[in-house]
Amino acid sequence: MLQAVKTETLKEQTVPKSNGNSNGNSNGASKVERPEVKLRPRHVSGGVEEILDPFCDPANPRKISFHDVTSAAFLIRGGVERTPCPKSTSSDLYGMELYLKKDFLQYTGSFKERGARYALLSLTDEQKRTGVISASLGNHAQALCYHGWKLNIPVTVVMPKAAPIMKIQKCRNYKARVIVDGNDMGEAKSLAMRMSQDEGLLYVNGYDHPHIMAGQGTIGLEILEQVPEPDAVVVPVGGGGLIAGIATAVKSLSPKTKIIGVESEKCASFTGAMKNKGPIHTPIKNTLADGLAVPKVGYNAYATAMPLIDRMVVVKEEWIALAILRLVEEEKCVVEGAGGAGLAAILAGHLDELRGKKVVVLLCGGNIDTTVFGRCLERGLAAVGRLVKFNVEISDRAGRHQ
């Protein structure tokens, strides 16, 4: 199966010559073939114009290969953290040899830096001068802005009005052009796509761009170096780019390792895509795992990940809150909801078949709002009966307090 995937993807690859670029394109590494940057508009129902991203074409999904991941690893080395993957202090409690890949320790607090840096380093000289644009609620925006700043590449991000003020300010601190507009991610992305066409900026999808997926796959390479031949790797799933990249790397080097994806019941878009046999819009409810709240998985991500995923798990919000609490108390790790989703699946008993096995859980992000963090801890304590809330009515009449 792996050879078939590789053969198919090679048709979409080119091996460019060295161009002497000081930002990292001089190594001659294989890259996903770039289509014309010009975006193509189309009209959909209701006469509303939608601009298609040529890197994420529903009619022509692109699978990444193991070679794409190793190329990404070569380019981003030294530019992102090689995060630790220690054995959990509570392995015996969970009944398995559990390891925690702490990618929330990246400078901006999430795994998104890997793909962002690779996408920026893979630009042509002209694209580096012109710059890129993207829409994001936070983690992708921060990663793109930070590495754009470090590489001297202009970055514009469109963030919806619901984006946390702290994340908006961080993007501005990284010298990016930040536009706060749109009531949700859909409106923010539509604006970003229009701007990309009007200003000639390259749009970088945060979970479905081939370079983004390849960059995220470098986590899989690190995991196998740190924990040889694991029985399973548990990965949080939102738009699908993370699990697509990791699965491509892991299955190429360790085919027997199971790849297990985890979603919140409030945003199970990949599970919906599996039932539909293709990406489909899924209603999203408020969730603790806001980093996973993507209403439709990426077409490239789905095509790449689907043949490689062994199982998808959907967890309830209470288990995510408990996972955040457990990671704070037992591992001294502060993670966001998305970062705790993998451990939540274990706590909920969804992965009991892995007892006695060697398992790696990815802690993918730690950018949690302080007020949300407090509510998560309370919710986790309540879930295990360690916190009880009750109301008492006391009369204010004289003599009634005796």
What pLDDT, on the 0 to 100 scale, is given for residue 402?
55
What pLDDT, on the 0 to 100 scale, is given for residue 288?
85
Beta bridge partners of 263: 314
Residue 261 and residue 237 in contact, taking contact as beta carbons nearer than 8 Å = yes
Nearest-angstrom CA–CA distance, 157 and 141: 6
What pLDDT, on the 0 to 100 scale, is given for residue 338?
93
DSSP 396: -
Transcribe 102-115 into DSSP letters: EGGGSTTSBTHHHH
What is the torsional sign of CA 339, 113, 373, 162?
A: negative
Nearest-angstrom CA–CA distance, 75 and 61: 24
What pLDDT, on the 0 to 100 scale, is given for residue 201?
96
Six-digit token string for 340: 């705790």
Tell me the pairing of strands 258-264 and 13-14. unpaired
- Number of Cβ within 10 Å of residue 400's Cβ equals 8
Tell me the pairing of strands 177-180 and 40-43. unpaired
What is the torsional sign of CA 351, 327, 291, 388?
A: positive
Distances in Å between the Cα of 38 and the Cα atoms of 41, 124, 196, 265, 381 are: 10, 14, 9, 38, 52
φ/ψ (deg, to 5) at 384: -105, 10
What pLDDT, on the 0 to 100 scale, is given for residue 32?
47
Tell me the pairing of strands 202-203 and 232-236. unpaired
Distances in Å between the Cα of 293 and the Cα atoms of 119, 247, 344, 379 are: 23, 21, 16, 20
Mean pLDDT for back-to-back runs of 10 residues, the chain (402 residues): 37 38 43 45 47 91 97 96 96 95 97 98 96 93 97 96 86 96 86 94 96 98 98 97 98 98 95 96 87 91 98 95 93 94 96 97 91 77 75 72 55
Distances in Å between the Cα of 268 and the Cα atoms of 24, 143, 172, 189, 277 are: 37, 25, 32, 21, 14
- Number of Cβ within 10 Å of residue 256's Cβ equals 9
What pLDDT, on the 0 to 100 scale, is given for residue 5?
37
Residue type, 277: K
What pLDDT, on the 0 to 100 scale, is given for residue 286?
85
Task: Considering only CA atoms, give the Rg of the chain.
Answer: 22
Write down all domains in the chain, each with its CATH number in brackets.
22-76+111-208 (3.40.50.1100), 91-110+212-383 (3.40.50.1100)
Tell me the pairing of strands 132-135 and 49-52. unpaired
φ/ψ (deg, to 5) at 263: -125, 155
What pLDDT, on the 0 to 100 scale, is given for residue 18?
37
Residue 219 and residue 188 in contact, taking contact as beta carbons nearer than 8 Å = no
Please tell me the total number of residues recorded for the chain in this structure: 402
The model's pTM: 0.84
What pLDDT, on the 0 to 100 scale, is given for residue 389?
73
Residue type, 25: N
Nearest-angstrom CA–CA distance, 186 and 163: 13
Nearest-angstrom CA–CA distance, 317 and 313: 13
